[in-house]
Amino acid sequence: MESGLDSNTFWLAMALVLLVEGFMPFVSPATWRKTFEQILRLSDGQLRFFGLCSLLLGLLLIWWLG
């Protein structure tokens, strides 16, 4: 089995991102809107912290699954 990233794997990953991102606005738009408004009130430092945590978790998952 190939260990490299081919275009099919990339597009499958993009499709999964779209499915995850679109789930809450479709299922519960009011909750999604309220959550988004709360996110907008976070400071830059708080947003950077959550962004860093997401990046590290993503890298950890890639390393673990790869």
Three-state SS string over 32-49 comes to HHHHHHHHHCCCHHHHHH
3-state secondary structure of 61: helix
Domain span including residue 54 = 7-65
CB neighbour list of residue 25: distance below 8 Å, 6 or more residues apart: 32
How many domains does the structure of the chain reveal? 1
What percent of the chain shows pLDDT beyond 70?
A: 94
Residue 6 Rama label (left phi>0; alpha psi -120 to 50; beta): beta
Residue 1 included in any domain: no
Q: What is the pTM of this model?
A: 0.68
Residue 46 included in any domain: yes
Q: pLDDT confidence of 9, banded at 50, 70, 90?
A: confident
Mean pLDDT (whole number) for 62-66 = 86
Report pLDDT digits (tens) over 19-49: 999 999 999 999 999 999 999 999 999 999 9
